[in-house]
Structure 1
Amino acid sequence: MASGKTIKNVLIVLGSPNSVSGELSSISKSRLDCCADLFKKKSLVLCTGGWGPNFNTAKHPHAHYAKAYLMKKGVQGNAFLEFALSENTVDDAVKAKSILSKLKNELSLTIITSGYHLERVRLVFNEILKGYAITFVGVPCKLDKEEYSVLLAHEKKAIASILQNGLYY
Structure 2
Amino acid sequence: MKKEVLIVLGAPNSPTGELSNIAKSRLDYCASIYSKGKRVLCTGGWGEHFNTAPEAHAVYAKRYLIEKGVFEEDFLAFALSQNTVDDAIKVKKIISNITASKWTIITSDFHKERVVLIFQEILKGFDFTFTGVKSNLENDHLERLIKHEQEAVQLILRNGLYY
TM-score, normalising length: structure 1? 0.94
1:12 paired residue number: 7
2:45 paired residue number: 50
Letter paired with 1:163: L
| Greater mean deviation of Cα atoms: 143-152 or 67-76 | 143-152
Q: Write out per-residue CA displacement over residues 102-158 of structure 1, whole angstroms, 9 at most, x where no aligned residue.
A: 32x245210000000010011111111111121011101211111011101110110
1:137 paired residue number: 131
Listed as ranges, the gaps of 5+ residues in structure 1 are 1-5
1:161 paired residue number: 155
For residue 72 of structure 2, the aligned residue among 73, 77, 83 is: 77
1:147 paired residue number: 141
Check conservation: 1:107, 1:132, Cα contact below 8 A.
no
User: Structure 1 residue 30 and structure 2 residue 25: aligned?
Assistant: yes
2:81 paired residue number: 86
Check conservation: 2:5, 2:100, Cα contact below 8 A.
no
Runs of 4+ in 1 over 4 A off after TM superposition: none
Give RMSD over aligned pairs.
0.9
For residue 34 of structure 2, the aligned residue among 3, 18, 39 is: 39
Check conservation: 1:18, 1:62, Cα contact below 8 A.
yes
Check conservation: 1:107, 1:133, Cα contact below 8 A.
no
Q: Distance in 2 between matches of 1:125 and 1:72?
A: 29
Listed as ranges, the gaps of 5+ residues in structure 2 are none
Q: Write out per-residue CA displacement over residues 43-62 of structure 1, whole angstroms, 9 at most, x where no aligned residue.
A: 10000000000100000000
* Percent identical residues: 57
Check conservation: 2:105, 2:128, Cα contact below 8 A.
yes
Q: Distance in 1 between matches of 2:65 and 2:83?
A: 21
| Greater mean deviation of Cα atoms: 94-103 or 45-54 | 94-103
